[in-house]
């Protein structure tokens, strides 16, 4: 079992087993069982290529044999950076079967993030596509090889060039099964983060499979369900709420889209008779516009899930008239807790709230700054613990002491209140993060990059309101010299540091000092207010 992962106290773990939350299933046993039940049924398609449950089970066995021969063992970490395609599933199930842990990188990550994941997790292997969305990942791998990762084996889905070809690793399956326990950590998921470096979230087979089961109950998933994955599947939302893994658990069919534009998604909905999909608010807004002018038949769609960032009530009320389907708001976090509006909730709840916890064993508290529970209806920070919410991040003891209470509650950093019906309304955030249309940016991470510039004295990155994305990032900068570096130079500088494009600030503001709090810290609240006022009457919002 991977060390340095704080887990539930043994007594509580026993309780979760007794009450049937954790049922001893692993992802390997789950897939085998589904293959027995649904053998020749299509499990996954991208509209052209199809793979059945039996094939997915067999191919992941074959790949597990190939991975093992390559030296991948139980508890090894493997950074997986694959887009929405069949290989993602073959790879992660092969790793699950060995008991090795996928570390889920996003396709948008670049060498700055990937190097950190490889180093921090002491990854054994790095798995990439040849290219995706116009970007050649072999170039990234080559750079890593030049920078201290000389011996890191790189496996490529597609044309491998000098690297190891994934397709060559489908070997004769081993007869003997690998020993994997449902208590083991199954994978490391990325946290949105609010500190300099992203935190890694250890999820066990038991807890994650429980979250799939509960999601499936709430979202009424069954063998007839057809789930369209438009968001990158490494994100917790499309992975498990109920997402692609929930769909497999229900015996449904996954339809993979490599992008989220209406021109990619709508034909797939029509062709594959998709019943449920999950998007972030900006995509929902684009689709609502597009549906008016496109003639695709989207009548199969029963549920549109929207989550990852606050969906305004004004937009939420338009989903049903636009698509003729039910809107489901989803307020979740990779650390665990997922809240859903229920499919049969009154319209008022669906439009105005972010739902309620999916499990009766989720414990939530809304507290003030002294950790005292607030009166019902008042805004406070949401704390939570339960059978699928982690008790600590991987290898970050000091941070865990701040991010979790002594009795095991995760401090979400979300400011919420309960409405009269007991549903949660997200009101804001008390964490140093920008939620750019569902993609989370840790302000400190970007500030550290900016501070590496020799002509920058100080930097403070804050959220600014945006009609379309909800928020964008604005970097306040104190320069050594007036006039340089310019916003264009700064963007180039950050690009050269090879960070994911969504993290590059949308706007730069140059100042000679920062407003301070009474305690002498930079007042990000004042900076947020300042930029919000400044933008209010401006025609052009970006520089």
- Burial of residue 487, with CB atoms counted within 10 A of its CB: 0-12 exposed, 13-18 middle, 19 or more buried: middle
Residue span binding ligand OOB (CB under 6 A) among the ranges 54-62, 204-212, 285-293, 307-315? 307-315
From candidates 53, 208, 331, 393, binder to ligand OOB by CB under 6 A: 331
CA 322 to chain centre: 27
What totals of helices (H) and strands (E) does the chain contain, helices first?
Answer: 18, 27
CB of 532 to ligand OOB, least distance (A): 18
Tell me if 354 contacts ligand OOB by CB under 6 A: yes
How many angstroms separate the CA atoms of 169 and 163, rounded? 12
Q: What crossing angle do the helices spanning 53-69 and 27-38 adopt, rounded to 10°?
A: 140
Looking at the Cβ atoms of 263 and 348, the one nearer to ligand OOB is 348
Tell me if 236 contacts ligand OOB by CB under 6 A: yes
From candidates 307, 357, 386, 485, binder to ligand OOB by CB under 6 A: 307
Residue 11 three-state SS? helix
> Would you list the DSSP string of 377-415?
TS-EEEEEE-TTS-SS-TT-HHHHHHHB-TTS-EEEEEE
Tell me if 330 contacts ligand OOB by CB under 6 A: yes
- Report the residue number whose CB is nearest to ligand OOB: 332
| CA-derived radius of gyration, the chain | 23
CA proximity to 4, closest of 151, 127, 122 = 122
Looking at the Cβ atoms of 46 and 329, the one nearer to ligand OOB is 329
CB of 356 to ligand OOB, least distance (A): 12
CB of 354 to ligand OOB, least distance (A): 5
Looking at the Cβ atoms of 35 and 333, the one nearer to ligand OOB is 333
Looking at the Cβ atoms of 395 and 440, the one nearer to ligand OOB is 440
C-alpha pair distances (Å), 430 with each of 197, 365, 414, 426: 18, 15, 6, 11
Tell me if 426 contacts ligand OOB by CB under 6 A: yes
CB of 378 to ligand OOB, least distance (A): 18
How many angstroms separate the CA atoms of 316 and 305, rounded? 11
Pairing between β-strand 164-165 and β-strand 154-157 as defined by DSSP bridges: parallel
CB of 355 to ligand OOB, least distance (A): 8
Tell me if 412 contacts ligand OOB by CB under 6 A: yes
CB of 101 to ligand OOB, least distance (A): 18
Looking at the Cβ atoms of 231 and 269, the one nearer to ligand OOB is 231
CB atoms within 10 A of CB 125: 21
Cα angle 237, 240, 246 (rounded to 5 degrees) comes to 140
> Would you list the DSSP string of 158-176?
S--TTSEEGGGG-PPPPSS
Residue span binding ligand OOB (CB under 6 A) among the ranges 128-136, 152-160, 324-332, 495-503? 324-332
CA proximity to 271, closest of 231, 300, 233, 248 = 300
- Any idea what DSSP says for residue 425? E
Pairing between β-strand 456-466 and β-strand 470-479 as defined by DSSP bridges: antiparallel
> Would you list the DSSP string of 489-507?
HHHHHHHHTT--GGGS-SE
CA proximity to 87, closest of 225, 227, 233, 200 = 233
Looking at the Cβ atoms of 77 and 440, the one nearer to ligand OOB is 440
Looking at the Cβ atoms of 59 and 328, the one nearer to ligand OOB is 328
From candidates 120, 237, 388, 404, binder to ligand OOB by CB under 6 A: 237
From candidates 204, 275, 329, 423, binder to ligand OOB by CB under 6 A: 329
Tell me if 309 contacts ligand OOB by CB under 6 A: yes
Looking at the Cβ atoms of 205 and 310, the one nearer to ligand OOB is 310
From candidates 99, 308, 386, 387, binder to ligand OOB by CB under 6 A: 308
Tell me if 105 contacts ligand OOB by CB under 6 A: no
Dihedral, CA of residue 390, residue 424, residue 342 and residue 13, to nearest 10: 20
**Count of residues in contact with ligand OOB, rule CB under 6 A:** 22
Binding mask 182-211 for ligand OOB (x = CB under 6 A): ----------x-------------------
Looking at the Cβ atoms of 102 and 332, the one nearer to ligand OOB is 332
Under rule CB under 6 A, which residues in 428-457 are in contact with ligand OOB?
Answer: 429, 435, 440
Residue span binding ligand OOB (CB under 6 A) among the ranges 45-53, 327-335, 367-375, 504-512? 327-335
Under rule CB under 6 A, which residues in 58-77 are in contact with ligand OOB?
Answer: none
Task: List interacting residues with ligand OOB (CB under 6 A).
Answer: 192, 236-237, 241, 307-310, 329-334, 338, 354, 412, 414, 426, 429, 435, 440
């Amino acid at each position: 079992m991977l060390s340095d992962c704080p887990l539930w106290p043994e007594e509580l773990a026993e309780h979760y087993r007794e009450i049937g939350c954790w049922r001893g299933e692993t992802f390997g046993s789950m897939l085998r069982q589904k293959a027995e039940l649904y053998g020749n049924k299509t499990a996954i398609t991208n509209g052209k290529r199809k793979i059945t449950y039996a094939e997915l089970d067999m191919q992941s066995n074959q790949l597990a044999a190939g991975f093992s021969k390559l030296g991948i063992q139980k508890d090894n970490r493997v950074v997986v950076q694959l887009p929405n395609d069949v290989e993602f599933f073959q790879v992660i199930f092969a790793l699950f079967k060995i008991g090795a842990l996928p570390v889920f990188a996003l396709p948008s990550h670049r060498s700055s993030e990937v190097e950190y994941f490889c180093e921090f997790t002491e990854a054994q292997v790095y798995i990439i596509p040849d290219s995706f969305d116009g970007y050649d990942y072999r170039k990234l791998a080559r750079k890593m090889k030049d920078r201290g990762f000389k011996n890191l084996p790189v496996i490529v889905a597609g044309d491998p060039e000098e690297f190891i070809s994934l397709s060559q690793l489908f070997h004769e399956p081993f007869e003997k099964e690998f020993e994997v326990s449902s208590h083991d950590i199954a994978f490391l998921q990325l946290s949105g983060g609010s500190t300099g470096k992203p935190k890694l979230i250890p999820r066990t087979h038991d807890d994650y499979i429980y979250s799939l089961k509960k999601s499936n109950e709430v979202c009424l998933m069954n063998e007839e369900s057809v789930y369209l994955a438009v968001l990158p599947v490494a994100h917790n939302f499309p992975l498990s709420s109920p997402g692609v893994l929930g769909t497999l658990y229900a015996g449904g069919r996954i339809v993979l889209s490599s992008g989220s534009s209406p021109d990619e998604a709508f034909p797939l909905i029509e062709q594959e008779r998709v019943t449920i999909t999950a998007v972030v608010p900006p995509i929902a807004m684009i689709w609502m516009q597009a549906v008016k002018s496109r003639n695709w038949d989207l009548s199969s769609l029963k549920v549109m899930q929207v989550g990852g960032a606050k969906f305004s009530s004004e937009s939420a009320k338009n989903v049903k008239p636009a698509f003729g389907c039910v809107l489901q708001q989803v307020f979740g976090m990779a650390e665990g807790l997922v809240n859903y509006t229920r499919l049969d909730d009154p319209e008022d709840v669906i439009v105005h709230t972010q739902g309620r916890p999916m499990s009766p064993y989720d414990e939530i508290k809304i507290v003030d700054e002294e950790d005292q529970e607030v009166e019902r209806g008042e805004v406070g920070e949401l704390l939570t613990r339960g059978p699928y919410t982690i008790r600590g991040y991987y290898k970050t003891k000091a941070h865990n002491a701040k991010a979790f209470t002594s009795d095991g509650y995760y401090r979400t950093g979300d400011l919420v209140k309960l409405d009269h019906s007991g549903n949660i309304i997200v009101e804001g955030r008390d964490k140093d993060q920008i939620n750019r249309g569902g993609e989370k940016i840790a302000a400190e991470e970007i500030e550290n990059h900016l501070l590496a510039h020799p002509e920058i004295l100080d930097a403070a990155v804050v959220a600014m309101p945006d009609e379309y994305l909800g928020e964008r990032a604005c970097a306040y900068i104190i320069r050594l010299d007036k006039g340089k570096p310019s916003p264009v130079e700064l963007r180039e500088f950050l690009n050269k540091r090879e960070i994911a494009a969504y993290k590059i600030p949308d706007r730069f503001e140059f100042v000679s000092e920062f407003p301070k709090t009474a305690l002498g810290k930079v007042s990000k609240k004042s900076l947020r207010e300042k930029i919000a006022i400044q933008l209010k009457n401006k025609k052009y919002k970006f520089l």
